[in-house]
Every structure is written in C-alpha cells, then in structure tokens.
Amino acid sequence: MKTSIATVSISGDLKEKLHAIAKAGFDGVEIFENDFLAFDESPRQVGQMVRDHGLEITLFQPFRDFEGMPEPLRSRTFDRAERKFDLMQEMGTDLVLVCSNVSSVAMGGIDRAAADFYELGERAAKRGLRVGYEALAWGRHIHDHRDAWEIVRRADHPNIGLILDSFHTLSRKIDVNSIRSIPKEKIFIIQLADAPLIDMDLLYWSRHFRNMPGEGDLPVLDFMKAVAATGYDGYLSLEIFNDQFRGGSPTAIAVDGRRSLIYLGDQVRRAESSSLTLPPMPARAEVEGVAFIEFTVDEAETSALSDRLRALGFRHVGHHKSKRVDVFRQGNINLVVNTDPDGFAGVSYALHGQSAYAMGLWVDDAEAAVARAVALGAERFEQPLKPGEIKMPAIRGVGGGILYFLDRGSVLARIWESEFDPIDDDTDLRPVGLTGIDHVAQTMKYEELLTWLLFYTAILKAHKTPMVDIIDPAGVVRSQVVENESGTLRITLNGAENRNTLAGHFIAETFGSGIQHLAFSTDDIFATAVALSKNGFATLMISPNYYDDLEARFGLEPTFTDRLKAHNILYDRDDYGEYFQLYSPTYGEGFFFEIVQRSGYRGYGAANAIFRIAALRRHLRPIGVPKL
C-alpha cells in the first residue's frame, strides 16, 4: 500500500510541508498548484526537492474548467493544458488531475466531454503523460463519479483515466458499489478524505471541513472496500482541505494522516480479501477496563492528596518495593501516587506540576496493543527498571502522558502483589461505595482533539460518539467520547478553544493536555453522598435554581428533587435510563473528581455541564480568569 498526501493538507511553505510529509513516512505527494506558485524555486528545483525527501510526485493538480468549453475558450483551454504539461515534465510527474468543469459557460454532453478528453489524451501521450478526471461534487454538469467514469470509458484512451475522491462520492451519498466494476487500470489514483456530517453547501463543506479518514462521519471504509474490490493497489492519497489543519503543526497533521491511511488499510484488509499490501499488525486491543490512574506529585503535596483520597473512601493498600510509589484502592479502582523524583514521573512533575499523567488499561494482550500502536506511528515508552519491577508495555499518549497496557495472561496480572508491599491503612474514614472508573476525561486544545480521537480509535477497539458542545460560562468546549460497546472503556476528550474556560485554564496553567477529571461509579449515589459527608468530604455546591428547572423539565416528584438538592446531585435521563452526578471542588489548576450512577443511560450529562462548570469555576484561583 503506497501512501500519498496533497500539499494542501498541511500548513507551512512547500519546504516545511515536504519535510513533515517525508518524516511521517509517506511515499508520495500531490503538488497543489498554489503551493508551487507561491514558492520561489523553479519546477525543476521543486521536483528535485521532492525527490531529495525520498518522495515521489503522485500528481499535479488541479487543472480546472477543461471539458465542454465552447470556442474560442476550448482552444485556449488546450493551450493552457500544454503549458501545464511543460511544467509537469520539468517537475517530474506524469499525472495531472482535471476536475470537472464548474464554469457557467461549459456545455454538457457526455460525448462532447469524451471527445475533449480523447484529444487531451492524444496530446498527453506525446509526452508520456497521463490525465485523471475527477467529478467535483459541485461540478456544473459532472458531479457524480459514475458520469465521470462514463466519459473516461467513452474517451477510450490509454492516457485518460478516472480519479475517485471519497469526499465527492460520499458527500452526495452516491452508491459506492458502482465503483466495484470499474477496471483497476482505469483508476489513476484514489483520493481520500473524511468529513464531519454538517448540513451545508457542498463546496464550502469540502474546502473547509474535510478531515482524515476515521476522524469524520463519512463511510470512507465502505468506499475503500469498493475500491479494493477492483484490485486497485496504487497510491492512496489524502486530500484534506481543513481550516484547522492549515494552521496546525505540519508534523502532527502529517503523522495523523499517515496513521489514518494505515488504519484504513488495516480495516479493509480485515473486512475482505484485498490486494492491499501492508505490514501485519495485531487487531485493535479489546479493553477490559482501567487498571489504574497514576498521579505524579511532589513529596510536600502527598499528604493533601492522600487525605483527599481517604475522604473519598480510598484506602492506602500498598507501597512499592523499590520506588516512592503508593497505591490507594476502592472497589476496582486503583489510584497510584508517584513521588519518585527519578524517572518519567519526576520529569512530568517538573514540566506540568501535580497531575494524573498516566493511565493503565487492561487489554487482551498488552504487548500486542503496543505493537499495533507502534505500527500506527505511536511512540513506545520505556524507562530503566528498578529491582523487582515488571516491564509494563506502554506508549506515549495525550499531552506527553503515558498509556500503559496490562493483561491477565502475563506476569502483569499480578502486578499489585508482586511489586507492592501490602499496607494496612489505619484511617477511620470509610469507603463510600465507589466501584470502578466510569470515565476518564482528558482535556486538550481543540486543535488536538481529532489527533487523540484517531489515536484511541485506531489502537483500541472502540468508537467515537458525535461531538457535543459543552457550554462553559467563558466559552465553548467541544467534547467527543471514545467508548467501547460494553462500557468498559470510556474516555471523554474535551477540546478547549480558549484559555478562559475551565478546560482552557487547565491546559494553560498545567502547560499541557492531560487528564482533568476522573469519574468514579457507584451503585447508590445517595448512600455515597451520605458516606462522603460522614468522611468530611465537601461536594461541589450546585445552584438551587438548577433544581427548580430540573423538576419542571423532567416532571420529577418534589421530594425526589429535594433529595438531589440536599446532596448537590445532578440528574439527567435519556431513552435508556437515568444518570446521577456528584462533583468534588476543583483542585490546583482545575483538576476534579466526579461520581456517577448510571442505569442504562448512555451519555455523560452534557445538559448539566454548564451548571457544574459554573460551580467548579468558583474554586479556581482567579488569576487569568475573566470576571463573569
């Protein structure tokens, strides 16, 4: 499987783009005319620069408004094409993309267009060049790949072929099975892009909102399966017009792009026998649950954190045999407190301060999970082991944090017993009925949201949910969840657009993305609330006005609303069940705990977010926070 990406997909000047594209491991690049025109070097030098990066130019594009022109425009169009052929030969590429005509003077007619392409094919053949025809979704006469194919078929010229672009086909909901019968030799290249489902003008949608396959909502996999059924084994080329990517980090976007293609190729290969050749890799990891969350803290801060965890009903159950690391446990929840100045925890502390910097996941096969992640461009994490330590497979995750993998089939299954000495916590504080981790909430800049969504869904057997806007009094935070069918994995990703929101403040003040809150589950939130209060744990105060509205909205019994109100419990309901939420205040730069009870409910209480965020903000130190 050969991978390519259009220069338009990446930010920077042509040199920066090529550098990022080559570094991410692509084989080829589509040169967008404007990227070339805005660059100061000659076509020959540009071609050399591409090859010096170890890349091939997969095509030059776009050539616009060609077919069906009336004279004298028709002749001028052919002259224009000859000029571009000159340029292509100097640059060193044999393929040009002609997109369907959008001109208001263009004439329709499949045969007329076929005749124009036949003539262009003759001219291209003289120079050993090829022309690929692509139907733009908003083309004047041709906006369906089936019509473009009919034109190519009738042109019947070896130097004229078809270019399929998933966006144009899928945005118009054209049946992808129509691709299966196209002879593979007539498909000159496949362009791939996904996009979020937004009801808007096709051109605007395409030019501003495309994203990497797997990042959006279009059935790009179905499209690719149909392509694979033809036996096509040429380049898969990303062509992503996206406002955010244009302003993003060239290397990060290129890495995402390559990951998206490998992941897509892997899915196609697993779905049906295909001609795609790509290195073998294990299947996506099945997640059984969160094994632990690890905090890095300074020695001076440990007692405050330990007190807080004990008030939340956790017991100090273990001390590491060779490191300054402690485990607190309640139900199935293991919280690791790392104060070791050596190693990555210490580095992370120096960089970000106290934080939940690592997460361990129970998977079916820990080594396989890392092998897959590495095949998809993730970075393996390793550090020197101390005596008696078990090597735990890990990769670098969100915000430079660490994602560990554990499985029941190896020594990792007994990690707590083998690495930790048991401790008998003499606290008087009682457990409060927390049973497990319902979800882990990670906060990042909005620009990074798609990166982490793709990261998790490509590596773990999980899907993403639609984007939800979380309203903070100081701005919007966009939230998307990565979860699996059984609910044993739930990671909410919150993309902050500005630094004034609670999420934005957290990123700005901790110098990076990371876990901002942990949501524990309980089977009885009222009992948990009572137990918390006995432990002296003060939960987050929710405005009384919230409860009046809630009662009216859901038609709740006043006695029930009074109970919710007495314990500061938030409530929500969907078609599947009920949801109860309870919060801690924020600590430090905005970290907090949540406790939830869900009975069938599938969401995360987005409707309540504005109320609890308003309440959480009251605990933030006022620096950098605008007065509301």
Ligand X SMILES: O=C(O)c1ccc(O)c(O)c1
By CB under 5 A, residue 479 contacts Mg ion: no
Please say which residue, 88 or 135, places its beta carbon nearer to Mg ion.
135
448 binds, among Mg ion, ligand X, none (CB under 5 to 8 A by kind): none
Judged by CB under 5 A, the number of residues near Mg ion is: 3
Q: List the x/- string, 483-512, binding to Mg ion by CB under 5 A.
A: ------------------------------
471 to 163, 349, 491: CA distances (angstroms): 42, 30, 19
C-alpha to C-alpha distance for 444 and 515, rounded to whole angstroms: 9
CB of 371 to Mg ion, least distance (A): 34
C-alpha to C-alpha distance for 190 and 59, rounded to whole angstroms: 11
Nearest to 163, CA basis, from 69, 100, 104:
100
287-296/28-32 β-pairing:
unpaired
Residue 359 has a CB neighbour count (10 Å cut-off) of: 23
Please say which residue, 136 or 569, places its beta carbon nearer to ligand X.
136
CB of 239 to Mg ion, least distance (A): 5
Please say which residue, 178 or 383, places its beta carbon nearer to Mg ion.
178
CB of 10 to ligand X, least distance (A): 16
Q: Which of 165, 301, 407, 594 binds Mg ion (CB under 5 A)?
A: 165
- Phi and psi (nearest 5°) for 65? 50, 55
CB of 97 to ligand X, least distance (A): 5
Residues ≥6 apart with Cβ < 8 Å to 333: 290, 314, 434, 435, 436, 437, 520
213 binds, among Mg ion, ligand X, none (CB under 5 to 8 A by kind): none
C-alpha to C-alpha distance for 511 and 348, rounded to whole angstroms: 11
Instruction: Identify residues 293-332 at the interface with Mg ion (CB under 5 A).
Output: none
Residues ≥6 apart with Cβ < 8 Å to 483: 439, 462, 463, 465, 489, 490, 491
Residues ≥6 apart with Cβ < 8 Å to 453: 215, 464, 480, 482, 493
User: Position 579: which residue type?
Assistant: Y
By CB under 5 A, residue 191 contacts Mg ion: yes
CB of 91 to ligand X, least distance (A): 18
Helix, strand, coil tally for the chain in percent (to 5): 40, 25, 35
227 to 190, 285, 617: CA distances (angstroms): 8, 27, 51
Please say which residue, 193 or 481, places its beta carbon nearer to ligand X.
193
103 binds, among ligand X, Mg ion, none (CB under 5 to 8 A by kind): none
472 binds, among ligand X, Mg ion, none (CB under 5 to 8 A by kind): none
Binding segment for Mg ion (CB under 5 A), chosen from 185-193, 376-384, 525-533, 602-610, is 185-193
Please say which residue, 232 or 241, places its beta carbon nearer to ligand X.
241
CB of 68 to ligand X, least distance (A): 17
C-alpha to C-alpha distance for 223 and 226, rounded to whole angstroms: 5
Please say which residue, 167 or 456, places its beta carbon nearer to Mg ion.
167
Collapse the DSSP code of 275 into the 3-class scheme (helix H, G, I; strand E, B; otherwise coil) and give the result: coil
Residue nearest to ligand X (CB): 62
CB of 217 to Mg ion, least distance (A): 19
C-alpha to C-alpha distance for 179 and 145, rounded to whole angstroms: 9
61 binds, among ligand X, Mg ion, none (CB under 5 to 8 A by kind): ligand X
CB of 58 to Mg ion, least distance (A): 12
Q: Which of 215, 239, 294, 419 binds Mg ion (CB under 5 A)?
A: 239
65 binds, among Mg ion, ligand X, none (CB under 5 to 8 A by kind): none
Please say which residue, 18 or 193, places its beta carbon nearer to Mg ion.
193
CB 595, CB 434: distance < 8 Å = yes
Q: Quickly tell me which residue has 């294990």 as its tokens.
A: 282
206 binds, among ligand X, Mg ion, none (CB under 5 to 8 A by kind): ligand X
By CB under 5 A, residue 30 contacts Mg ion: no
C-alpha to C-alpha distance for 594 and 517, rounded to whole angstroms: 7
Please say which residue, 44 or 207, places its beta carbon nearer to ligand X.
207
Report residue 444 as tokens: 């990042």
Q: Is the peptide bond before 558 cis (omega within 30 degrees of 0)?
A: no
C-alpha to C-alpha distance for 397 and 357, rounded to whole angstroms: 9
Binding segment for Mg ion (CB under 5 A), chosen from 116-124, 144-152, 161-169, 271-279, is 161-169
User: Which residues belong to the annotated binding site for Mg(2+)?
Assistant: 439, 517, 594
Report residue 89 as tokens: 């030969």
C-alpha to C-alpha distance for 611 and 535, rounded to whole angstroms: 25
CB of 61 to ligand X, least distance (A): 6
Please say which residue, 142 or 493, places its beta carbon nearer to Mg ion.
142
CB 470, CB 478: distance < 8 Å = yes
* Site residues (vs ligand X, CB under 6 A): 61-62, 97, 99, 134, 136, 165, 191, 206-207, 239
438 binds, among Mg ion, ligand X, none (CB under 5 to 8 A by kind): none
Please say which residue, 202 or 625, places its beta carbon nearer to ligand X.
202
CB of 65 to Mg ion, least distance (A): 15
CA 508, 444, 503 angle in degrees (round to 5)? 60
62 binds, among Mg ion, ligand X, none (CB under 5 to 8 A by kind): ligand X
User: Which residues belong to the annotated binding site for a divalent metal cation?
Assistant: 134, 165, 191, 239
33 binds, among ligand X, Mg ion, none (CB under 5 to 8 A by kind): none
Binding segment for Mg ion (CB under 5 A), chosen from 234-242, 262-270, 289-297, 307-315, is 234-242
User: Which residues belong to the annotated binding site?
Assistant: 134, 165, 191, 239, 439, 517, 594
- In sequence order, what are the beta bridge partners of 421? 319
Collapse the DSSP code of 572 into the 3-class scheme (helix H, G, I; strand E, B; otherwise coil) and give the result: strand
Sign of CA dihedral 5, 7, 11, 12: positive
- In sequence order, what are the beta bridge partners of 605? none
Report residue 366 as tokens: 């820990």
CB 30, CB 59: distance < 8 Å = yes
Please say which residue, 142 or 470, places its beta carbon nearer to ligand X.
142
Residue nearest to Mg ion (CB): 165
CB of 325 to ligand X, least distance (A): 52
Calculate the CA dihedral of residues 607, 611, 612, 614 and round it to 10 degrees: 140
CB of 207 to ligand X, least distance (A): 5
Please say which residue, 242 or 500, places its beta carbon nearer to ligand X.
242
Q: Footprint of Mg ion on this chain (CB under 5 A)?
A: 165, 191, 239
